[in-house]
Structures are given as structure tokens and as C-alpha cells.
Amino acid sequence: MAGKKVLIVYAHQEPRSFNGSLKKVAVDELSKQGCTVTVSDLYAMDFEPRATRRDITGTLCNPEFFNYGVEAYEACKTRSLTSDIIDEQKKVLEADLVIFQFPLYWFSVPAILKGWMDRVLCQGFAFDIPGFYDSGFLKNKLALLSFTTGGTAEMYTKNGVSGDFRYFLWPLQHGALHFCGFKVLAPQISFAPELVSEEEKRGMIASWAQRLRNIWKEEPIHCTPCWYFGQ
């Protein structure tokens, strides 16, 4: 799919990790297709995860009582956000597909990636009120969560000790990505890579590469509560 642009938001501390291998495979495979691939390596960038008043470079609307959401919204309108936020927003705007690659932490994303979401996907850029879910500002883009777990696949079933994996995807896929308008593709879950053989790891990586070869033909999931809780 020559001409397509992909942003990979990557959150792992170790380049030689399994997550690092999945990220590298995605870069290689998508580049082979003629896609332009950009990687935001959050740890390597030392990305600031905290949403603070330092994110606003202009005059605050209310310097007496700081409200981050209000100030970021107004700063977004006047391009008065810090350069690291604006740079990431530019990458998102240019992308046809955004892939988030990370290890699952406490049924969620690592803090540095949560901070990226908090700061980059601000009101005025990714959504407005009204202007969310199907009307979100990023509605013409695809998003995909690719992540590893510490637990086995059996643990993340409806009757497993951790419950169906779809349950914890609700706030990430629906409450964040779909809220901003993204069309969400099914997640790529690599279960417990630290507990399997090298051969099984290679199989996981090969499966990811194979999926990426046909990624532009995939249909997004149905972003409704039924997809998450109706199984």
C-alpha cells in the first residue's frame, strides 16, 4: 500500500525486548509495502508523561485556578502547546494508521504511554464537545493496539482468573481511541511471551508479520458495548 503513512507509538524500555521485536517487524513489513513508517519511541525520547501547566506556552486563561483540560483546549486553538505535544499531534494527523506497541501494565498501558494519550489527544485536537466517538476528529484514521501480557491466554478468557481480555480493552479502545473517532482494528495480543519457547515466540512474530501484510484489507471492530461485554 504505497503512500500509506503509519505511526507506531512504542512504549518499552529495552530495544531487544519482545515488544522491540514486534515493533521492528512492523517497521520492516510496512516499509516493504511502500508505507512511510514513523516511530515515536517514548522511552528513547524521554517523553514527558505528566500533564502540567508547563504544557501551555501562552498566557493562561485563569492563572488563579489551573484547569488542565480548559487550558490545553484553549492552547490547542492558538498553537500554544509545547513543541513535544505539537510534534506528536502532527505525526497523528499525517498517519493513516496508528499502532500502539506496549506491554500490558495492570490491565492498561504503561504510564509513559498513558501520558502520551493524556497530553497529545487533547480536546480541540482529537475531539470536542460535541465531536466525539463517531464524530471524533480522528474519524478517518485507523488505530490498533499490539501488546504483550504476563499471563497466558487461558487467564484472559471469560471464565479465566483475569476475565475476558475484551473487558480491559473497553477504556483503551472505546473510551480513548473510539472516543477520538479512530476506527479501531482488532487487537494483536501476544500472550505471555516470557513463558513460551523460542519457537513459539518466532511463531508470534511471524503471525504479526502475516497480519500486517493484509492489514489494509481489515474491517474495524464494531465499537459497541456488545463487542466488549456481549460475548
First to last CA, the chain: 34
Instruction: Report the chain's mean pLDDT, rounded to a whole number.
Output: 96
* Phi, psi (rounded to 5 degrees) for 3: 100, -20
20 pLDDT band, cuts 50/70/90, is: very high
Measured between alpha carbons, how far is 82 from 68 in angstroms, rounded to an integer? 13
Over residues 45-70, the mean pLDDT reads: 97
What percent of the chain lies above the pLDDT cut of 90?
A: 97
218 pLDDT band, cuts 50/70/90, is: very high
231 pLDDT band, cuts 50/70/90, is: low
Q: Is the pLDDT of residue 81 over 60?
A: yes
Measured between alpha carbons, how far is 113 from 219 in angstroms, rounded to an integer? 25
Q: Is the pLDDT of residue 103 over 90?
A: yes
Strand pairing category for 5-10 and 188-190? unpaired
Measured between alpha carbons, how far is 82 from 50 in angstroms, rounded to an integer? 13
Nearest to 105 by CA among 176, 168, 26, 178: 168
Over residues 73-96, the mean pLDDT reads: 98
Q: Is the pLDDT of residue 191 over 60?
A: yes
3-state SS class at 13: coil
Rg (CA), the chain: 18
Architecture of the domain delimited by 5-51+83-229: 3-Layer(aba) Sandwich (3.40)
Nearest to 223 by CA among 135, 154, 137, 160: 135
Over residues 182-207, the mean pLDDT reads: 96
Q: Is the pLDDT of residue 41 over 70?
A: yes
Tell me if 227 sits within 8 A of 166, measured CB to CB: yes
Length of the chain: 231
- One-letter amino acid of 215: I
Q: What is the pLDDT of residue 69?
A: 97
223 pLDDT band, cuts 50/70/90, is: confident
Q: Is the pLDDT of residue 21 over 70?
A: yes
